Structure 1
Amino acid sequence: MGDYPGAVAAAIAFFRGGFSAAPVQFQNEDPPQNPWPPASPPAPWCYFEMVQLDDRLRGVGLPGNQVWLATGNVAVSVFVPKGYGLADHLTLAGQVDTLFRAKTIYNTAPGVALRFWSEQGQGPSIQGGDSKSDDGNWFGAVVVIPFQLFYIK
């Protein structure tokens, strides 16, 4: 049987296994290197978040055998040093988009699956870009990937 913590662990493992273009910090984990962010020389880096926004009964069945649907977003903030160049920055963010687009993972049992949306207008998107640090040395863009988690409870 699947659950949300298992889906988060699967999404993190999927990202770690498929993205190596820049170091990544994950929610509530220590940075992967010191100093953080990468400073000598400044290099691109990412911050990975997964947030559940809704959880509701999706199908009928006896308690303990009902399909539930949790929805939310994976957000990967991609930071580059100022002066890095927007085209190269968007190429880096595009690698995150490509990794998640229309993928299904965490299908551990019948009725359990973590789907990253691919429907028109609801697939991954690269949103905005601006200075994201107090010292103004970093430029960031966020890749937002909607997800659906189907699981039995």
Structure 2
Amino acid sequence: MADYAGAVAAMRTFFAGRYSATPIAYQNEDAPSKPWPPVDGGGKPTPWLYFEVVQVETRLRGVGLPGNQTWLTVGFIRAHVFAPKGYGFAEHLAIAGLAADALRSQTFYNSGAACVRCWGEDGQGPTIQGGDSASDDGNWFGVTVAVPFQFFFTG
């Protein structure tokens, strides 16, 4: 039976299978490599991505018999792309664009009783946010890709 945990796992697996531009760190997990943040062969920091899924709302979407109603969970998949200070904004945005493209207008975790769609109810797709002064912590510059998702399931 489909559930939210399975949907989040599917989001992660689907993304990781389509994005390879940088190493990926995940919510509540140890760093994927040592040293972390990643460095190149000369010890210079390199870009990396932090992947997270944030649920905003769950609501009954349609009608049906009890125990067989359609539910809709909506939220955002966020891919925070961090690049070392001085990396270059155009190059940084190009990496963020790859992350957005990996999920743009995709449907998966489609079992007949559930599916995840990567767009919002009004058709909005991924946005790339950031690039302001709050994005700079002195060592890293962050840009966030926000991908709206809909998770439909029966329950």
Measure how far apart 1:2 and its partner are: 1.4
Runs of 4+ in 1 over 4 A off after TM superposition: 118-121
Q: Aligned-pair distance for 1:111? A: 3.7
Distance 1:118 1:43 in 2: 32
SS of the equivalent of 2:149 reads strand
Aligned length: 149
Pick one of 84, 87, 106 that aligns with 2:87.
84
The Cα of 1:118 is off from its aligned counterpart by 6.3
% of aligned pairs identical? 55
- TM-score norm. by structure 2 comes to 0.91
Displacement, 1:34? 1.4
In the alignment, the residues of structure 1 paired with residue 85 and residue 153 of structure 2 have an alpha-carbon distance, to the nearest angstrom, of 43
Contact 2:53 2:78 in 1 (8 A): yes
| SS of residue matched to 1:21 | coil
1:99 aligned residue: 102
| 1:119 shift after superposition | 6.7
**Partner residue in 1 for 2:10:** 10
Q: Distance in 2 between matches of 1:54 and 1:80?
A: 31
Query: Which of the residues 108, 128, 131 maps onto 2:130?
Result: 128
In structure 2, the partner of 1:144 is 146
- Deviation, 1:105, is 0.7
Partner of 1:75: 78
Q: Secondary structure at the match of 1:90?
A: helix
What letter matches 2:147 in structure 1?
I
Please tell me whether the aligned partners of residues 120 and 149 of structure 2 are also in contact (alpha carbons under 8 angstroms): no
- SS state of the match for residue 102, structure 1? coil
3-state SS in 2 of match to 1:92: helix
> What's the CA shift for 1:121?
6.7
Contact 2:117–2:150 under 8 Å retained in 1? yes
1:91-112 Cα offsets, whole Å, 9 max, x none, are 000001111110001002x241
Instruction: For residue 145 of structure 1, report the CA deviation from its aligned partner.
Output: 0.3
* Coordinate RMSD, CA, aligned: 1.4
| Cα separation, partners in 2 of 1:81 and 1:48, compared to 1, 3 Å | same
Structure 1 residues without counterparts, runs of 5 or longer: none
